[in-house]
Amino acid sequence: MSRFIFAVCFALLLAACERAPTLPRLSPHDIIVAFGDSLTHGTGASEATAYPAVLATLTGRTVINAGVPGDTTSSGLQRLPEVLAEYKPRLVLLCLGGNDMLKRQSAASTENNLRLLVQTIRASGANVVLIGVPEPKLFGGAPDFYTRVAKDMKLPLERDAFNDVLKDNRLKSDPIHANAAGYRQVAERLAAFLKEAGAL
């Protein structure tokens, strides 16, 4: 019996260690920046139904939509310092990589740029949540480099929210963008994720 109890406790300990890293609790006045490309901008829906706007309503926090359609990890690196300086966020939701894949840029380059983006955000004093983007192909799923970056840099990773939405034609406006219902589902998933990670 004692061996069984030990095994259960050991399994629970392992499970706890494998959970996403926790985030500091956000105050009501802390700013969240959603930094990304057209998926963050809300292409396929209105500004009011893009995921950052819905997330702001769900969380009661200010969420800045810093999504630029067509942005790659490389162009994101160029504009990130200005965004951080302007808004001074406590938390950045980083969702880039889709356009790198569409333009067939190397996975190694995208991964390296994601690491540099995370380092730049952390150097500003903000925390980071990494959001995975599915590969633009049938049964895509987010590439493994998102998991590697999150693990190596001890980041919370929301790997599946966009993947689940973009597999459902009812939640899409076109093959690579969500519609209003899809962005709402992403926002709901992120709100639950932030709550579980301790930010809310």
- Give the pLDDT confidence score for residue 16 in this predicted structure: 42
* Tally of structural domains, the chain: 1
**In this structure, which amino acid lies at residue 131?**
I
Q: Is residue 20 part of a domain?
A: no
The answer as to whether 174 is a domain residue is yes
CA distance 90 to 172: 31
**Is residue 19 situated within a structural domain?**
no
In the predicted structure, residue 17 carries a pLDDT above the cut 90: no
- Is 175 exposed, middle or buried, given 0-12, 13-18 or 19+ CB atoms closer than 10 A? exposed
22 located within any domain? no
Question: 158 in a domain, yes or no?
Answer: yes
Predicted local confidence at residue 137, as pLDDT: 75
Quick one: the chain helix, strand, coil %, rounded to 5?
50, 15, 35
User: What CATH code is carried by the domain that includes residue 152?
Assistant: 3.40.50.1110
- Do residues 130 and 150 touch, judged by C-beta distance below 8 A? yes
Q: For residue 128, what is the enclosing H or E element? A: strand 127-131
Q: Is the pLDDT of residue 8 over 50?
A: no
Distance of CA 46 to the CA centre of its chain: 20
Whether 184 contacts 171, CB under 8 Å: no
Give per-residue pLDDT as tens, 65-89.
999 999 999 999 999 999 999 999 9
Residues 109-161 pLDDT 10s: 999 999 999 999 999 999 999 999 999 876 678 999 999 999 999 999 999 99
Answer whether residue 91 is part of any domain: yes
pLDDT bucket at 22, cuts 50 / 70 / 90:
confident
Residue 130 lies in a domain: yes
Domain that holds residue 89: 29-196
Q: Quick check: is 14 in a domain?
A: no
Q: Given pLDDT bands bounded at 50, 70 and 90, which one contains residue 6?
A: very low
Q: How many Å apart are CA 7 and CA 74, to the nearest integer?
A: 47
